[in-house]
Amino acid sequence: MATIRDMIAPFELFQPTSIGDAVALLGEHGADAWVLAGGLDSFDWFKDRIKRPGVVVDLGAVEELRGIRASGGGLEIGAMTTLTDVELHPDVRARFSILADAARHVATPQIRNQGTLGGNVAQDTRCWYYRSGWPCYRAGGNICYASAPKAMNREHCIMGASRCVAVNPSDTAPALIALDAQMVIQGPEGERVVEAKDFFIGPGIDITRMTVLEPGDLLTAIRIPDTWSEATFYYEKVRDRNSWDFSLVTVAAALRVEGATIGDARIAVNGVAPHPVRLQHVEAYARGKTRDDDNGRQAGELAIQKARALRHNDYKLSLMKNLVRRAIRGMEA
């Protein structure tokens, strides 16, 4: 069977208008159903004819999935809220600016107008071996092409690999982890709430999924508790060009700083592992330390202690180390 790309294969389209209907449809069609949010990830797959769901459930018409509301001292953001809305929302900007910052770093304005926060956290990896439709582990096969001795893996992981060495591409994920966000999921058995750091799973657990979402599950909202409201934030995404580019390494940190001393901290990294990584050992190190370059360097070294480079991504060790250093030290040297 010859291959052809850039031509979406036919599918059955459902456009429910309520969460209930959407969940019912997903339950009915099981693994054959594909959840369509902004479509930025989905349509790439569809156009390439690599993923061919029989049924697509488009959430575009589910109004209750959109919007940002106050909730328990924090905020609840509907999963279908666009990244532009997240970026521009006054409460997000005033209290959780790291999330606005993260949303602003996604792709391009056009993509942010269409892309959603839920879609951004639930998106699939951009490993180009996998995206080429090759039968790798993540695609249900038995090989990781990206970890071969001469493979092209400058954008792949330096930690957390298990057979698959792809990385999670989400720009908002590390910010959400740094904010102790919670993911609200509607499944066949009702609602469950998962901590952001546990929402993302590595290939060791399930090599074909990036998150805990299973067929039938729907991410409905993301809750930001008030824990880190108006904290000191650091967010830096390093990429090859300044727009429409996935991250090489991103570090997001929320710090409670008193004087020059760090009280408590949350530090999360993306682009280095198949899932965003919360650096709890670095957080522990940072507690009670002053924000200076020495402590930054120590924290950076600590962060990459267990990292191991592939053929072409040794630079990610330096990059992660330096970004963590900046998170602790601050941008100024």
Contact residues: other proteins, CB under 8 A: 1-7, 9-10, 48-49, 108, 128-129, 132, 134-135, 139-145, 147-152, 154, 161-163, 201-202, 204-206, 236, 238-246, 248, 309, 311-319, 322-323, 325-326, 331-333
CB of 200 to other proteins, least distance (A): 14
**Closer of 129 and 233 to other proteins (Cβ):** 129
**Closer of 189 and 258 to other proteins (Cβ):** 189
**Closer of 95 and 325 to other proteins (Cβ):** 325
Name every residue whose Cβ is closer than 8 Å to that of residue 58 and which is 6 or more positions away in sequence: 13, 14, 15, 36
Can you give the C-alpha Rg of the chain in angstroms? 20
CB of 145 to other proteins, least distance (A): 7
**Closer of 95 and 316 to other proteins (Cβ):** 316
SS3 percent helix, strand, coil of the chain, rounded to 5, is 35, 25, 45
**Joined tokens for residue 5:** 């790309």
CB of 63 to other proteins, least distance (A): 31
Three-state SS for 158-212 is CCCCECECCCCCCCHHHHHHHCCCEEEEEECCEEEEEEHHHHECCCCCCCCCCEC
CB of 175 to other proteins, least distance (A): 18
60, 48 in Cβ contact below 8 A?
no
CB of 224 to other proteins, least distance (A): 27
CA distance linking residue 83 with residue 33, whole number of Å: 24
**Closer of 95 and 291 to other proteins (Cβ):** 291
Nearest to 154 by CA among 325, 313, 321, 323: 313
Annotate 286-319 with b (16+ C-beta within 10 A) or e (fewer). Answer: beebebeeebbbbbbebbbeebebbeebeebbeb
CB of 78 to other proteins, least distance (A): 27
67, 79 in Cβ contact below 8 A?
no
**Closer of 76 and 155 to other proteins (Cβ):** 155
CA distance linking residue 224 with residue 74, whole number of Å: 5
- For every residue of 76-118, DSSP letters joined together read EEETT-BHHHHHH-HHHHHH-HHHHHHHHTSS-HHHHHH-BHH
**Joined tokens for residue 51:** 């993923």
**Closer of 144 and 196 to other proteins (Cβ):** 144
CB of 76 to other proteins, least distance (A): 28
**Closer of 78 and 271 to other proteins (Cβ):** 271
